[in-house]
Structure 1
């Protein structure tokens, strides 16, 4: 248990400053969520000794547990995304909510939001995490208002007999477990950090009959799901001339023969530029999602220090595409007179220019049809009555169903680029 007790007035000042920032940035939009964040002492749920400025930082998560390699496997999420997820779920007094992934603090917030007549159940696969959450909830007065369960939430939870109004998943999920949908009421909402070909969006889905439709989405990252719902990436190492590696990380099944890339880093690098620009400080996270949905062969990249790519780190981003014996990755170069940067692609391999051109074509399509446009998402469980998906809809096959992503104007983009990648065809 965290026995650290910062001066109450000092902690309250940090907490109020955090809430003021969340309100100003419209991350908190309802009085009931504001009151919860002003009430629950976040500093009593993080590791002892964590400074108040770190604890009450708007966009900084705080580690709870690491694996033997030092990788974070449980954390208290950044305050902004906790606020957004509760707002996305549209929770209020008297409602019932299931939290998948425990830590204690978020469950206490939920207890404040649903009030004494509501119900909060928090489940985690790790007994150390649930023991810690239970202890901290007891110590802060929320023990009687939150039921903590140690279990793999991929399975139906015993004792949860009535459907809940909302489910908040606080770990990165590759798919939606059928058990979650069994626990969700008709018209209920599930807020889940859903991984789609390596790119995560925190999506609020509303249940509509036999499927789910999105009502909102946020950009954030989460520690990955453990247990039966875990999904490992496939990582391929490309050695350079000095024995360092570029790592290609695929989340979907790799249909191409990646062995064709042996020795690719010894080839001459090529590049293709798109003419598409963006100003400094402007987010282009929607381009990442566009790639993940519409660019066959999409992967994420990581590089060892010592590689040529590492030395040029400020000029590229870790999103790539494989085309046979070649691969390309997203690059930028400055626009004259400080106007921002231009997107393009750099590539290695005999057919590197073609790989770079494929990425640039999607950059240009995104600029025409997907830029600053909010896509909509849907989830179709196995057995649901699915419509005929049009060419304006990207389809990602999951274990227990399909995720679809649609941009309002994607049909026009498809006419110029060919039909979007649809795994069912």
Structure 2
């Protein structure tokens, strides 16, 4: 039995925190968060503190290896994405990646005159969402169905907004076909293994970002899925270190054979970060500008896992591997590199050089993004924009000069 008074109190407390942190900006989104019973869309054993935590995501389904396949997103990113979408009463909205809760929020914002279509590739996820929406009184306002988002939603649309709640490596052409010319696309876009939620609006023949937010999402399934190139390196302890390349993996990764055997060296960038200050944009900078960039993971007991204050961002240079580390500095921490292999110093230098470049040119500015579908004129791309090729188009980032 749910304590309705406690639930109402938890909703109001969550709204107050989201307001204070600048994630809820509008009265419409605030009302949605006050009205929708968040706990009713969670597994029955979910604790109240977890259901109503500011940045807690709750996994709904895992695969046989324990990887999350479906989850309820953290409250802060749900609020941000609703604000990004600039929803209004009467709109027709497509949600890609279902669960029920976010669709209920959307239904509250667009009102009885609006229409919400929520799709997922997994019938089990859709069935669960349908049950929760029915139990909370939203089933008449949200149409849920099984579909592979890569192919759109036949017989639906056009949509005033499309909100994607799974990590997408690219923008499916059909999304733009089904989006109204003035519509908003809000999508967690994966860029070389680093994700940003980006709100896009059409600007002539391309999409231009209007807002961005840091968040992570479960990966898209179906025909829009993208598999990383995975390299496994044996550690002398018997464990394994894994390198995951989104794209642009070095051609001769065989040079890394035995790279972990000779021990590590460390070098430092002379760039520090204060305690409590986010450096998420450094990861994004690496994804765009650090050649040989990859995500790194390590089994417990390996030399990597035993090292202090390491982060899962690495680069490969020839027969060298280096990953990002931190050490204490006055009031915070200094960035550095821990390196292995014959070319380890080259890899460490490359990583530290990009830390320094981010510090000079990107640290105190906010980048903007643009997306040009294939077949569009690329000549208007600004000279200071970096370019990343996707399957269906070209993504660019422009990092304004730091003042």
| Residue 100 of structure 1: how far off its partner (Å) | 0.2
Match for residue 40 of structure 1? 36
Please state if 1:301 is matched with 2:296. yes
Please state if 1:319 is matched with 2:313. yes
1:234-253 to structure 2, matched below 5 A, reads: 234-253=229-248
Task: Say if 2:248 and 2:292, in contact at 8 Å, map to a contact too.
Answer: no
Match for residue 333 of structure 2? 341
Count of paired positions: 403
| Residue 208 of structure 1: how far off its partner (Å) | 2.0
Match for residue 421 of structure 1? none
Q: Report the 3-state secondary structure (helix = DSSP H, G, I; strand = E; otherwise coil) of the residue aligned with 2:151.
A: coil
Match for residue 363 of structure 2? 371
Among candidates 190, 212, 215, match of residue 220 of structure 1: 215
Give the Cα–Cα distance (whole angstroms) in 1 for the partners of residues 380 and 313 of structure 2.
Answer: 30
Please state if 1:95 is matched with 2:87. no
Among candidates 130, 134, 148, match of residue 134 of structure 1: 130
Among candidates 49, 63, 67, match of residue 71 of structure 1: 67
Among candidates 374, 381, 387, match of residue 382 of structure 1: 374
Task: Say if 1:100 and 1:153, in contact at 8 Å, map to a contact too.
Answer: yes
If the length of structure 1 is used for normalisation, what is the TM-score? 0.92
| Residue 203 of structure 1: how far off its partner (Å) | 0.4
| Residue 387 of structure 1: how far off its partner (Å) | 2.2
Match for residue 185 of structure 1? 180
Match for residue 100 of structure 2? 104
Match for residue 328 of structure 1? 322
Task: Say if 2:24 and 2:79, in contact at 8 Å, map to a contact too.
Answer: yes
Match for residue 392 of structure 1? 384
Task: Say if 1:186 and 1:209, in contact at 8 Å, map to a contact too.
Answer: no
Root-mean-square deviation over aligned CA pairs = 1.4
| Residue 73 of structure 1: how far off its partner (Å) | 0.4
| Residue 388 of structure 1: how far off its partner (Å) | 5.2
Give the Cα–Cα distance (whole angstroms) in 2 for the partners of residues 379 and 328 of structure 1.
Answer: 31
Greater mean alpha carbon deviation, residues 68-77 or residues 95-104: 68-77
If the length of structure 2 is used for normalisation, what is the TM-score? 0.97
- Structure 2 unaligned residues grouped into runs of 5+: none
- What CA deviation, in whole Å up to 9, does each residue of 1:63-112 have, x standing for no partner? 11111222210111001100000001111111111000010010000000
| Residue 391 of structure 1: how far off its partner (Å) | 4.8
- What CA deviation, in whole Å up to 9, does each residue of 1:38-59 have, x standing for no partner? 0000111111121111111111
Q: Report the 3-state secondary structure (helix = DSSP H, G, I; strand = E; otherwise coil) of the residue aligned with 1:142.
A: coil
Match for residue 198 of structure 1? 193
Task: Say if 1:175 and 1:400, in contact at 8 Å, map to a contact too.
Answer: yes
Greater mean alpha carbon deviation, residues 278-287 or residues 203-212: 203-212
Task: Say if 2:250 and 2:316, in contact at 8 Å, map to a contact too.
Answer: no
Among candidates 265, 281, 285, match of residue 286 of structure 1: 281
Give the Cα–Cα distance (whole angstroms) in 2 for the partners of residues 306 and 68 of structure 1.
Answer: 24
Give the Cα–Cα distance (whole angstroms) in 2 for the partners of residues 156 and 363 of structure 1.
Answer: 40
Give the Cα–Cα distance (whole angstroms) in 2 for the partners of residues 197 and 167 of structure 1.
Answer: 23
Greater mean alpha carbon deviation, residues 383-392 or residues 48-57: 383-392
Q: Report the 3-state secondary structure (helix = DSSP H, G, I; strand = E; otherwise coil) of the residue aligned with 2:134.
A: helix
Give the Cα–Cα distance (whole angstroms) in 1 for the partners of residues 292 and 110 of structure 2.
Answer: 44
Q: Report the 3-state secondary structure (helix = DSSP H, G, I; strand = E; otherwise coil) of the residue aligned with 2:260.
A: helix
Give the Cα–Cα distance (whole angstroms) in 1 for the partners of residues 263 and 272 of structure 2.
Answer: 26
- What CA deviation, in whole Å up to 9, does each residue of 1:173-206 have, x standing for no partner? 0011111111111121111000000000000011
- What CA deviation, in whole Å up to 9, does each residue of 1:299-356 have, x standing for no partner? 01001111111111x3221101100111111111111xx4211111111111211111
